[in-house]
Copies of this chain bind each other. A is one copy, B any other.
Amino acid sequence: MVSTPGAEPRRITINDVARSAGVSRQTVSRALNDKGEIDGDTKQRVLDAARALGYRPSRFARGLVRQDTMTIGLVIPDLLNPFFTEVAAGALEAARSRGWHVVVYATADRADEERDTLQVITSQVDAVIGYFSCSESELESYTRGMPVVLIGREGRSTRFSSIRIDGEQGVRAAVAHLVAEGHNRIGMLDHRTRAEPSIRHDWFTAAAREHGIDAGLVVDADQTADGGGTALRTLLAARPEVTAVFTFNDIIAVGALREARRLGRSVPRDLAVIGFDGLQLGALVEPPLSSVALDTRKLGALAIEQLARLLSGLGTSEADDLIVHAELHLSGSA
């Protein structure tokens, strides 16, 4: 992983510039950093030499000497998924108020990118928050004692702090609402991770069973609008009697909304749709999306706060969980 291909050209250092300009290192430093205490001609000569040589200061050497700012790495799978960017926005805001900086790493939802990111991140930031699909032990082997806060990871963590999403009540309320509206054929467009049904699917199944409803009408969907559309089509082709769908998230729901329109099903009259996440996006579509909503910004903000606790050394034990509850927000689509 080297920036320059082929033979490694020795890095140009401040010494090279000094030699070339016929001055000392310190004078070069002064010229480059706009300190006073330097002759105008000398400064220009140094600047010219630096430019001619293509000199770029080492950020590491500089950081070593200068005052250190706290920098947090935020790892998310996908920049194009508004859920993650909303979480990121929340984290950035919370970090800003502490004077911390956040750098965002997107892994393109690929395991190898995630590993690669994890590998370099240790030399870039002081702590890490984010979504990871790799195992805890793998995560630990990369982060090596660096403070870590997991976001929205399903399944309890033993070694890391995490911010978890509890949508059980919200999903139950969603199903109850649909049943109250007379729906008894309710499908779900789920999103599986490594062939595993999501925990949202579990919540849905449990809620459906409470009402004695068939909870087997499940189709797997890509985490995109197109994925949601395709999944809805598949579902309705197999089970045309379905009159309502609950989806893994709002992106999938929005895709389902669009597909319903194409199929000539009016929402919510012919098909009720309830998503999950409560994204801002839901308010832009027609009809506005009903959703089991959570405070995405808060999710990111909590991660930062938990990190602060970890870094202060005091407070919570290493593997400590905070919970964000999701609740049903009804709008036009159900």
Contacts and interface: CB of A to CB of B under 8 A. Distances in A.
Copies of this polypeptide in the complex: 2
Contacts of A59: 60, 63, 122-126
A67 B284 contact: no
Given A2-B67, A106-B89, A56 B124 contact: no
Please give me the 3 A-B residue pairs with the lowest Cβ-Cβ distance, nearest first.
A3-B70, A60-B63, A103-B103
Interface in A71-85: 71, 79-80, 82, 85
A240 interface: no
A15 to B, nearest CB: 15
A254 to B, nearest CB: 5
B284 A225 contact: yes
A114 to B, nearest CB: 12
B101 A313 contact: no
A51 interface: yes
A320 interface: no
A238 interface: no
Contact of A120 (B1, B55, B56, B69): B69
Interface residues of A, number: 69
A208 interface: no
A54 interface: yes
Interface of A: 1-3, 11, 32-34, 50-51, 54-56, 58-64, 66-71, 79-80, 82, 85-86, 88-89, 92-93, 96, 99-101, 103-106, 108, 113, 117, 120, 122-126, 141, 144-147, 225, 254-255, 258, 261, 280-281, 283-286, 311, 313
A58 B64 contact: yes
B313 A54 contact: yes
25 contacts: A2-B99, A3-B69, A3-B100, A33-B144, A50-B145, A51-B145, A56-B145, A59-B124, A59-B125, A60-B60, A60-B63, A60-B68, A79-B85, A79-B88, A89-B106, A92-B108, A101-B105, A101-B117, A103-B124, A104-B104, A258-B286, A281-B284, A284-B285, A285-B285, A285-B286
